[in-house]
Structure 1
Amino acid sequence: MTNEFLKIVSEIEQYVTEQTDTALLALATVVFVRGSAYRRPGAQMLIYADGKRLGSVSGGCLEADVVTRAKEVMETGIAEYVLYDAKSSNGDLVFELGCGGAIGILIERATSSTLLSHLRSLSALMQKRKRGVIATIYQSEGTAENFTGKRLILEESDQLTKGGIDPNTEAKILFDAREVLGNGKRRNTTYSLSQGKIEVLFEPIVPPISLMICGAGQDAVPLAQFASQLGWSVTVLDPRANYLTEERFPNAHALIETEPEKVLAHLSFDEQTAVVLMTHAYSQDFTLLQHLLSLQLPYLGLLGPKRRAERLLSELREDGFHFDAECLRSLYSPAGLDIGSETPEEIALAILAEVKAALTLRPGTSLRLRRGAIHEENRVYEPYTFPSLPSARTGCVLSG
């Protein structure tokens, strides 16, 4: 789930408000990938009746065909699952896919009340920076009821948003949703039911990266701008009110005027939080490190040469502040990957790439040095059959 998703939800909301014919809008979602693919499961594309699009589901191989199919879905209101397979031998749709893999796409009328309700729930969850799991049934075969397009959302608080799934099937999906919530691993699962089978994508819901920039100098402007374009939530902090203007930081989530010693009173942190110190003031960086280093943030970047960071840490220890190896492991100084950056824009690029690598536990090296696939393969579970649940427990919440 990314900023692309939030833009799509916002666009649907605006469309529903302004248009009288709300049927002329479709949503395409990547729900299955085998092998290499440009977009991963969860990627979405909004399609208008005139063929215009927002977002993408491939590198350009599939969009034209998806738009054609989406127009039919707009008319019928019946969701359609399409498997595009570069190496199909079983009757699936064969396409010349640039990456050579297989991509399954679910196409739905975007303004159906049930789908819109789920999209709103997901958007609210992300904006509250809460975790969860969305389970999407993208194919049903041989079942008396058409499950395609039905969803279930499980929040980290254990709150459940239902989607018209029968209690027996819901309990089975919920059992696996709790496992995905615990391990954070996206997966596809096939369930054998009494009258057929259904295929489900489990997708972890993770809040967007929160980037907190301490220092509102000129070099902070491209850093905030690029991060906003990536869909990150950007907060800029500085004691100088005249530097914290919407003209300089038009897309920032928050602009906070504060002294370094009060920084913790204005911030909240989670596992998707990165902080970059770029005050260009030694005393301010000294104070900020006092407050932030012990938090063991996922990423704490400090601008400046290595010897400057070593001097800061040395003086902090002399003042009685002691940091173990775990604390120091979160400190990235000099901040940024080694890509030969010179301009503020290039430095911003290097820092954001390092932040992304740190938060995804990747080395930040060239992909040509990586062994194996670029992306972690989706776990695909073969069909299996659950025992029938006793009627007394129908609709119960199973413990994970």
Structure 2
Amino acid sequence: MALALVAASASTASAQKKYDTGATDTEIKIGNIMPYSGPASAYGIIGRTEAAYFKKINEEGGINGRKINYISYDDAYSPPKTVEQARKLVESDEVLFIFNSLGTPPNSAIQKYMNSKKVPQLFVATGATKWNDPQNFPWTMGWQPNYQSETQIYAKWLLKNKPDAKIAVLYQNDDYGKDYLKGLKDGLGAKAASMIVIEESYETSEPTIDNHIVKLKSTGADVFMNITTPKFAAQAIKSSEIGWKPLHFLNNVSASVGSVMKPAGFENGQDIISADYLKDVSDPAWNNDAGMKEFLAFMTKYFPEGDKLDKGTIVGFAVAQTVVQVLKQCGDNLTRENIMKEAANLKNFRTEALLPGIQINTGPNDFAPISQLQLEKFKGERWELFGDVISADAGG
């Protein structure tokens, strides 16, 4: 009888709640860092959408009975400021983890700190390939398809459809821009040296990139690889007014209809090619889609002032749904270690914001949740998908 009692009490103990700093019976404290100001402020809407989504979750009773306390700070896309905000979140606010902080240079600046503190740097809002490195950085995980994979897909398309292309590349002079450039060169392989006629970089501190565009045009290139963040992407698209009309590839991170294509002028964006993994609100193909209806209902109720045409809103919605799934899987074991364990245990998970055929999968050695994309072309006032969903396996 005594043995039976011991066994029963042991199993009860193993089912007890486990918490790290930032989690209690009633609360899960999540930190976030966004560029609400500065050169990448167009992305700030992602953080605002996430705040609205967590409000929705809280109003519906929270996650396993716990409300989310979402603390989001501005870093103006300045890495020293990101370091300051990360320390504040971890050491003063005592968050359980930092979620979806934006930008390659800002996240690079805090990666070693987060890993030394063993605090999850979860679903970072950047597609740099280096976030998929569980051996060296087990506390950092990406979310969106990686940049190298995306430009490799463009390279494959060019080799097949325009093998004699003369490519002019404009890229942001940081880890984000260089990652995209590497993917393009890897994708073109031996032909990279002959096909790329100019590689031109710009700094985010520059007010305008007009002089760079004039330089690219002077090379006679007939393909433009536009590796820029929203403010500069809109400038580059507008520059078609100087009479340079190359085949234009635009990186996914700036393919927002609301924050890039509309300000640049729809007439200037015709036939630009990009790639996507999320449904586009402006595409009537999704008018009767259950997932799109869910997204629009959320926006109407919880973020009515948000621009539904801004890609940042559907990104924020989809990544917030993903972290909610991770927290549901954690149950009552809300330790930082278990957060990472469950983040690396997503199997064929779908937020309905994803394009059909695209799923989220992770594992202990696979910290790249989304690795599929579909090409799209800008027509009229929206993106039109074409071709098949392509799996991208660059960088592991």
> How high is the TM-score relative to the length of structure 2?
0.30
Larger radius of gyration: 1
Would you tell me which structure has more strand in proportion to its own residues?
A: 1
Structure showing greater relative contact order (alpha-carbon pairs closer than 8 Å, 6 or more residues apart): 2
TM-score w.r.t. structure 1 length? 0.30
